[in-house]
Amino acid sequence: MAINNQEMQSKILEAFNFRHATKVFDPAKKIADDEFNTILEAARLSPSSFGFEPWQILVVQTPEKRELFRDFAWGANGAFNGTAGQLGTASHFLIFLAHTDVNQTHNSEYQQKFMKEVKQLPDDVIGFINQAFQKFQEHDFKIEGQRQITDWAGKQAYIAAGNVMSVAALMGIDSCPIEGFEMDKTSAVLEQHFGIDPKVYQPAVMVALGYRADEPPFEKTRRTMDQVVSWF
């Protein structure tokens, strides 16, 4: 169905106003498979610096697996409102992992394989990108070592997470981004129960998805456009 630009704009703004950080979902309402696939496609097709896709996405659907995070995922366990929280009520629960320096240091094995097999680039182009990325890491942005490279990868993962939430909202699906968890304990659970090597992948952000149990308790507040944007 053709949709004109004005209709499109109003639908986009409607979706962005509809989206709020949902604290409790209706546990009886599940996201349909095709809609959830669209949400995952939005993540998969997201942009990333140099196109290296330095993220992995875990879809945690088994209740027992979600419960493993409850004690220390204070932003998702309902501790603030006496509910089962996003962990206990979301239709779908995502954990975005950031690649560490093991995968994302210039000239890494991951990047060589990625450029060859995913990007299907010829060797000379791969050589050029290796050099450019090394300069970017060492000189331009000065991103060095495990923490900084993982944080850089995490920034890319947040773009994918943002797209997930926006696309969900466009389909009338609620979401909540979650940074309220203890990093070390999350990493340990991921290693022990999900087989995730913490040297290679670190948790970046979680996103719960589903349908709100209640309307948001507050009006959305934001700074004005003038306070946020400067034109030159």
Ligand X SMILES: Cc1cc2nc3c(=O)[nH]c(=O)nc-3n(C[C@H](O)[C@H](O)[C@H](O)COP(=O)(O)O)c2cc1C
The answer to whether the beta carbons of residues 203 and 92 sit under 8 Å apart is no
**Binding residues among 140-199 for ligand X as defined by CB under 6 A:** 176-180
Return the SS3 of 98: strand
Edge-to-edge strands, sheet with 55-59: 55-59, 92-99, 201-210, 174-178
23 lies in the site for ligand X, by CB under 6 A: yes
Least distance in angstroms from the C-beta of 172 to ligand X: 16
Window 79 to 118, contacts with ligand X (CB under 6 A): none
Contact 187, 202 (CB under 8 A): yes
Q: Residue 100 in contact with residue 202, Cβ under 8 Å?
A: yes
Does the footprint of ligand X cover residue 20 (CB under 6 A)? yes
Minimum distance from residue 63 beta carbon to ligand X (Å): 19
Name the minimum Å distance from CB 20 to ligand X.
3
CB 69 within 8 A of CB 181: yes
Residue 43-82 contact track with ligand X, rule CB under 6 A, x = bound? --------------------------------xx------
Residue ranges that bind ligand X, judged by CB under 6 A: 20-21, 23, 75-76, 176-180, 205, 220
